[in-house]
Structure 1
Amino acid sequence: MLDALAALPFWQAFLALFAAAMVRSNGTYWVGRGAVAGWGRYRGEHGAHGELGARAETLLRRLGPVAVTLSYLTVGIQTAVHLTAGVMRMSLRWYVPAAVVGSALWAVLYATVGLAVVQAWLAAEAGSWWGVAVVGLVVAAAVAATVVRRRRRTPPGERPVPSGGHPASSLGRPTS
């Protein structure tokens, strides 16, 4: 897939990436928009919807549509911003232009620098088990660092139920 995109002229790669970004972000927005009723029932009246959702909501309340545009330049909170924009029922008059600008920025970045970097990395690592091992170690270290950081932020009494607990109890539902 990446090879096919990298082989295209810039404008074709840009259009393909732009379309993919628009479909994904608008799809996520509409899932959030449609999930408003279920979101309230599942998460309770207080609107507690996790750290990532709370960060996205804070960004949207502070920056409005600018948060949508800037989310395309982030990793990790992009989907939460679009979903939360839908849940918060951000007006399409504001959401769509912000999504168009953000999708265009994202497509330009990936059609130029992004694809070139990924293609160069894959070419350098092709056939090298050491390269695969190093990438695996980097991913494992990143996951471990994220888990440790989140555990430090969460007080012991508020940590989720360990994996031996009843699944419904970790969702805040009655376990009857």
Structure 2
Amino acid sequence: MDIKILKLPVFLTVIISLFLLSCDDSNNPRRIDYSTVPDPFSIAGAEKVTTQSGLEYYIVEEGICPSGDEDICTVNPRDQIDIFFTKRVKDDPDRIISSSYVNGVQTPVPASVGGGRVITEAGFKEGVIGMKAGEKRVLILPPDLAYGNNPNNQYSDQTIWIDVELDEIIY
């Protein structure tokens, strides 16, 4: 009888241990690693531009236009571009929303200025228009140009800080 009583606690201990081990996601291939995301761009000394919509942006580093033809060298609403970016909550820069640097990636991501998976916010779209290759900007999106006041979004009513570097205009 004593052996049966001892078997149950041992069995429960093994089951609980296996359950706790399965909760460890350090080897999960879907785990997001932001450790290689660079620090936010510094806007010290950069001129602030405020658009009619309320978007604020800072040109941290000027881009180049080797041909001199601004129509070809600047981003337009129809363009496909390669960019590096990091979206953060402005009041909590350690709170990263998404980044092209996630999981150690060091290559730019393709994006459609007209919308898509990367440039989803109206303020992000507005902020990249007019950029030149190599240009770096900080975009400050007020809530209405970011995620609005959607109660289903964890970033609802948040001001968003986006560091963006234009690698190239594809077409």
TM-score range normalised by the length of the shorter chain: under 0.3
Choose between structure 1 and 2: higher helix proportion: 1
Q: Which has the larger radius of gyration?
A: 2
Choose between structure 1 and 2: higher strand proportion: 2
Please report the TM-score for the alignment, with normalisation by the length of structure 1. Answer: 0.20
